[in-house]
Amino acid sequence: MIEVNRRGEVWVFAEQEQNKLSEVPLELMSKGRELADQLGVKLGAVLLGESVKELARRLIAHGADTVYVSQDRRLSHYQANGYAKVVCDLIHAHKPQICLFGATAIGRDLAPRVASTMRCGLTADCTDLQIGDHELPNNEGKHENLLFQIRPAFGGNIIATIINYDRWPQMATVREGVMPLSEPDASRRGQVIDHEAGLNGFELPLKIIESVRTQRKVNLKAARIIVTGGAGVGSKDNFKLIWDLAHCLGGAVGGSRAAVDLGFVDRDHQVGQTGTTVRPALYIAVGLSGAVQHRAGMQESAKILAINTDPEAPVMQIAHYGIVGDLNVVVPKLIKAIRTGGRVAAKA
């Protein structure tokens, strides 16, 4: 662990694969920038890989004041042991007060290993981060300007705010898609600091025999409109209604966990806590009750339309528009109204 260091920077682990940054570290940069400004400290990005230095410019455009770059042949492919060693060395050397990682396959593998080595706290899968004060019970004092690590827990039934006031850095992994991505500013200036990985003689324990990345069949995060079907749709055949509605809106198709488990739609389409977190301009929830795990993944949508036979379904309570009725009747009417530009279709 490191001691409490109020001048310490806010750090973001700039995850990359095959020399490409995904959106996750960039989302973290905008949140990190906000936190750093609030604390009056610099924002640092930690970039590891084989030849990744040119990505530093992008990180600076997205808000970094400092980019710590460690390049080594042995960092070309992510592996927990080597990456954790380099990140821990950097933390020891520069004593950041906050370290953020994406809650990705890599971030959730790396961050706990780093936290365990540092013997500091770590909160998984945060959906929000804030700066705030914590009063100790019995008037034992107050810790100011801590990182509030906010996350759903207990299957999404509670929201917990976690803090770490003595054993720093304050570390968290942050869920993909919950932090808005800000526009890059190419005129921003920042500093690039090279860090010797020091992996000479360091043995990597794993041999990567094969590594395959597949394009997701659907990019829910990028969709402006999402039409999601639940178990209430009834069958895979009937799910065609969901596809039709999505197509006529130029939107993407989502599925609740139940719909995915029932085989109505592929797992790539799953919205919710265990699927993708989305915040589209319009979210249409069809035949799904809106379990808390589902709501956690879509309630930030700008507009929510719920279609359900049950007026008491939880999804109705977060919806902006609710249609109580049979989806087999309502969805075709909706498609017709969209095709005719909102005019009432001529009665037959």
Partner 1 sequence: MGYNCVVLIKQVPDTKRVTGEAMNPDGTVNRAALPAIFNPEDLYAVELALEIRDRFGGGKVTVITMGPPAACEALRQALYRGADEVVLVTDRRAAASDTLATSYILSCAVRKCGQVDVVLCGRQAIDGDTAQVGPQLAEKLNLPQVTYVEQLQDIKDGVVRIRRNVGNGYEIVEGRLPMLLTVLDTAGHPRPAAARRLMKYKKARAKLELEAAVTAEMPNATAEGKATEVARRLADLQNRGLIIHQWNLDDIKADLQWCGRDGSPTKVHRIQSVILTGKGHKGILPTDEGVAELVTELIEDHTIS
Rule CB under 8 A: which of 18-57 touch partner 1? none
Binding characters for partner 1, 281-320, by CB under 8 A (x = yes): xx---------x--x------xxxxx-------x-xxxxx
* CB nearer to partner 1: pick between 68 and 83: 83
Closest approach of partner 1 to the CB of residue 309, in Å: 10
6 binds partner 1 (CB under 8 A): no
262 vs 170, 245, 306, 314, CA distance in Å?
A: 40, 20, 21, 21
If we measure between CA atoms, which residue out of 167, 161, 31 comes closest to residue 97? 167
Site membership for partner 1, residue 166 (CB under 8 A):
yes
CB nearer partner 1, residue 40 or residue 137: 137
Stretch that binds partner 1, among 5-13, 90-98, 104-112, 233-241 (CB under 8 A): 104-112
- Cα–Cα distance for residue pair 305/325, rounded to 1 Å: 13
Q: Residue from 46, 61, 100, 115 that binds partner 1 (CB under 8 A)?
A: 115
d(CA 183, CA 94): 28
If we measure between CA atoms, which residue out of 45, 55, 27, 146 comes closest to residue 99? 45
In angstroms, rounded to a whole number, what is the distance separating the alpha carbons of residues 102 and 183?
19
Torsion on CA atoms 109, 110, 112, 116, rounded to nearest 10: 140
Q: Which of residues 56-95 bind partner 1 (CB under 8 A)?
A: 80-81, 84
In the set 105, 142, 219, 266, which binds partner 1 (CB under 8 A)?
Answer: 105
Residue 56 vs 218, nearer CB to partner 1: 218
Nearer to partner 1, 62 or 295 (CB): 295
Q: How far is the CB of 106 from partner 1 (least distance, A)?
A: 8
Site for partner 1 in 238-267 (CB under 8 A): 249-250
Termini Cα distance of the chain: 74
- Is residue 341 a contact point for partner 1 (CB under 8 A)? yes
> CA dist 197 to 89, 101, 201, Å?
9, 19, 11
Closest CA to 296 of 182, 177, 181: 177
Name the minimum Å distance from CB 316 to partner 1: 6
Measured distance CA(305)–CA(321) in Å, rounded: 5
Q: What's the Cα-to-Cα distance from 344 to each of 81, 147, 213, 248, 338, rounded to whole Å? A: 63, 53, 47, 17, 10
Q: How far is the CB of 167 from partner 1 (least distance, A)?
A: 4
Least distance in angstroms from the C-beta of 36 to partner 1: 21
Stretch of residues binding partner 1 (CB under 8 A), selected from 7-15, 26-34, 56-64, 329-337: 329-337
Q: Does 98 bind partner 1 (CB under 8 A)?
A: no
Structure tokens at 2: 């490191």
101 DSSP β-pair partners: 173
Residue 104 binds to partner 1 (criterion: CB under 8 A): yes
Please pick, from the candidates 53, 57, 167, 279, the single residue that binds partner 1 as defined by CB under 8 A.
167
Tell me whether residue 132 or residue 141 sits nearer to partner 1 (CB atom).
132
In angstroms, give the least distance from the CB of 288 to partner 1: 15
- Residue closer to partner 1, measured from CB, 93 or 206: 206
Judged by beta carbon, residue 48 or residue 114, the one nearer partner 1 is 114
Q: What is the DSSP string of 57-100?
A: HHHHHTT-SEEEEEE-GGGSS--HHHHHHHHHHHHHHH--SEEE
